Amino acid sequence: MRITNMMQNNSLVRTLNRHQLSLDETQNQLGTGQRIRTPSDDPGRATNQMFFRSRMNELDTFQANIDDGFGRLQQIDGELDRIGNLFQRARVLAVQASNGIYQGDKGFELEVAVGKEIDELLRALVDIANTRDATGRPLFGGHVIERPPFEPIESKIKGLQGLELKNQYIGVEYRGDIGEQIREIEKGEYIPVTIPGNKVFWGTNMSVTSRVDNSGYVAVSDQKFKIDGVEVQVSAGDTIDDIIDKINNSPIEAKANKLAQDNISLSSTAPHQVWLEDVDGGTVLRDIGLIDSGNSEPPNNYSKSATVTGLSVFDVLIQFRNDLIQKDQERISGRDIQDLDLALENILRYRSIVGARMNRMEEHSQRVSFDKSYMTELLAKNEGIDFPETIMNMKWLETIHQYALNVGSKVIKSTLMDFLR
């Protein structure tokens, strides 16, 4: 095979270009500390790099969710602590009143003072219930954010010795919903960071008893309704007994019973305001007399003919205040102290739930921190270079390139122009 000068020149140029390319890649690696600039440099490592970076972005998002959720739960815990202190004070006053301390002429003045204090505790409780977070969203309103979740009803009442007390709270209505704000703390893993007000601000068990005779009730079509957000399916032909069985077999904190006149009674198994709603055009709850046909949207949509029992924490304080005004020592020592204890127990129950969620948040925060450190290490190993090894490669390439230049200067023959010089 005949080797020409042109072939030698081209071969040398290709070799030098290849050395220059390798030198350029090595210099870029030393300058950036990374071995991959484009996916074509190493498709396998580039795929791993994208996965590691995507996972680190996910972990950053989860950590932000955890921090936000923990802060929200911490604020709720602080508010529940305030409520607990408030009820402890109310209980102290109830015990004093039950012992007959507020009797006689001086007792009248003490009753006035205590009545005013209970009223202030009630107003403070409403303020706490309408607390908002740093973003302006109510803590205890569920998914409703455009209005305060609790609306007090004011009126005048008869006070001690016939005095008329104006602008007194006679009730507080919940205007939120049963939704819970959640935060994703891991893929597909969510944790609630709020508690709806119909639960935490309820003092005693609640019952709704229909006065409709349901002995001949038969569902005319497939329908469904919800109790506390849990869907219950009703099939055509179901009787009141079938509906009661389906309610009791559902994961609901309420149980249904059929009374003597075939009317249905629904009672909560844990203190909360029972949430009733017919959905998708169904009329079951309306037909059996539990919710009002003219106002089917919860809350406070119970049938006007139904008997509704149960007290919110606001009602407990209002009841105590009224009994104090009426000097009903028997009710104060019995019913009022018992209801105050039940309300405080329910508050402590939800405070323990909040504490458990905070502990879970802290554990996940540690887990995310560990995963992030691990992913950072894997990413560094995947895309980072070994500096001593890369420097050695750089020196070796420089030497080889220098040798190639020296050899090329000897191998390539002189041209005619060199002789003309």
CATH number of the domain enclosing 257: 3.30.70
Which domain covers residue 166, as residue numbers? Answer: 53-201+311-370
How far apart (Å, rounded) are the C-alpha atoms in residues 228 and 272? 10
In this prediction, residue 156 carries a pLDDT of 77
Q: In this structure, are 140 and 285 located in the same domain? A: no
Write down how long the chain is.
421
Q: In this structure, are 291 and 339 located in the same domain? A: no
Read off the pTM: 0.78
Q: Are 176 and 196 in contact (CB under 8 A)?
A: yes
For the record, the structure tokens of 160 come out as 């001690």
Q: In this structure, are 350 and 397 located in the same domain? A: no
pLDDT per residue as tens digits for the range 328-386 = 888 888 899 999 999 999 999 999 999 999 999 999 999 999 988 888 877 767 666 65
Domain edge (last residue) among 304, 325, 355? 304
**pLDDT for 405 beyond 90:** no
pLDDT per residue as tens digits for the range 63-96 = 999 999 999 999 999 999 999 999 999 999 888 8
169-190 mean pLDDT: 91
Q: Residue 199 is which amino acid?
A: K
Q: In this structure, are 333 and 398 located in the same domain? A: no
176-190 mean pLDDT: 91
Q: In this structure, are 327 and 196 located in the same domain? A: yes
Q: In this structure, are 186 and 74 located in the same domain? A: yes
b/e sequence 285-316, b meaning 16+ C-beta within 10 Å: bbbbbbbbeeebebbebbbeebeeebbbbbbb
Domain edge (last residue) among 258, 276, 304? 304
Q: How many domains does the chain have?
A: 3
Q: In this structure, are 116 and 182 located in the same domain? A: yes
What distances in angstroms separate CA 283 from CA 40, 222, 273, 279, 409, one per listed residue?
64, 10, 21, 8, 98
